Each structure stands twice: as structure tokens, then as C-alpha cells.
């Protein structure tokens, strides 16, 4: 299956966007697709070979799962790539122009859910990030 690409234009400079994308104290505020979910814990060792784990949980406490991976590339304020626990690859690029930072994610889809559903879910999280980063 071909990779899926999503993006968002954030009305904020690259330094602020990078910080809010990478620091756990920010990740917990945006890393979920809908208001009935949240991210109660985030751990992030942002370096090649470093691991991250974000806890995704329903607010009613009925479901929870870890989302994580290992970083394969880190270029500060430009590019992050990682491999998820199931072997799928993800890359994230950050480009600033005139005070607007474009975040582009490219990820390998999984085989259980329809592609449009996966794209919509990841885009919802990215849209949540945009709203948080522009505050």
C-alpha cells in the first residue's frame, strides 16, 4: 500500500511549532483525534535511536493503548522520522515561510482499517495540534 500524506499550515513560527510537537508537556494537550479521547502521558527521547511512547486513552477510562516508536532521523526544526512498534514508517517535515509553518506527515498505513479512515484519524490529530499550536 502506498503511504498516506497529511499536512497543516500552522500560524506560528518554527521554534514554537517544534517545541509544541516534541516536548511531552505539550504533546499531552493535543495528541488525540476527538474530544472523547486524551493523552494522559507522553515520554519522548528525541534523538536517533531514542524512543517515544504516548498513551492514548478514552476519557471514560474504558480504553487505553500506547502509541510509540523509535526515531531513525532527527534534524532539529526540520525533520523527524521514526518506525512504529509494528514496523510502519512515519516522517514529519516542518517548513516555515513568512511566519507560517507547514507540517507534513507521511505514514505507512496499517492493513486493518480503510485508508480514508486512517487518513481522517491522523489528520484530526494534526488539526488538533494546529489548534493547540496557534493558541
CATH at 121: 3.30.530.20
- 16-56 pLDDT per residue, tens: 999 999 999 999 999 999 999 999 999 999 999 999 999 99
Task: Report residue 13's pLDDT band, with 50, 70 and 90 as the boundaries.
Answer: very high
Order of all β-strands in the sheet with 64-75: 4-10, 100-107, 89-97, 79-84, 64-75, 51-58, 37-44
Task: Report residue 1's pLDDT band, with 50, 70 and 90 as the boundaries.
Answer: confident
With respect to residue 47, please indicate whether it lies within any of the assigned structural domains.
no
With respect to residue 87, please indicate whether it lies within any of the assigned structural domains.
yes
Residue-number span of the structural domain to which 88 is assigned? 4-32+73-133
For residue 34, the tally of other CB atoms under 10 A from its CB is 12
Q: What is the total residue count of the chain?
A: 135
Taking residues 91-115, report their average pLDDT.
Answer: 97
With respect to residue 20, please indicate whether it lies within any of the assigned structural domains.
yes
| Cβ pair 72, 82 in contact under 8 A | yes
Give the contacts of 57 (CB within 8 A, at least 6 positions apart): 37, 38, 39, 40, 63, 64, 65
Instruction: Collapse the DSSP code of 14 into the 3-class scheme (helix H, G, I; strand E, B; otherwise coil) and give the result.
Output: helix
With respect to residue 116, please indicate whether it lies within any of the assigned structural domains.
yes
Amino acid at each position: 500500500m502506498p503511504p498516506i500524506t497529511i499536512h497543516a499550515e500552522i500560524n506560528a513560527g518554527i521554534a514554537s511549532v517544534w517545541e509544541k510537537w516534541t516536548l511531552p508537556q505539550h504533546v499531552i494537550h493535543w495528541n488525540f483525534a476527538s474530544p472523547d479521547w486524551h493523552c494522559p502521558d507522553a515520554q519522548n527521547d528525541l534523538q536517533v535511536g531514542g524512543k517515544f511512547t504516548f498513551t492514548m486513552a478514552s476519557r471514560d477510562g474504558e480504553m487505553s493503548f500506547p502509541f510509540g516508536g523509535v526515531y531513525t532521523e532527527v534534524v532539529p526544526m526540520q525533520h523527524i522520522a521514526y518506525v512504529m512498534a509494528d514496523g510502519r514508517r512515519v516522517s514529519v517535515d516542518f517548513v516555515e515561510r513568512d511566519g507560517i509553518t507547514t507540517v507534513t506527515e507521511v505514514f505507512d498505513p496499517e492493513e486493518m482499517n480503510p485508508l480514508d479512515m486512517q487518513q481522517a484519524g491522523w489528520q484530526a490529530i494534526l488539526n488538533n495540534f494546529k489548534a493547540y499550536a496557534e493558541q
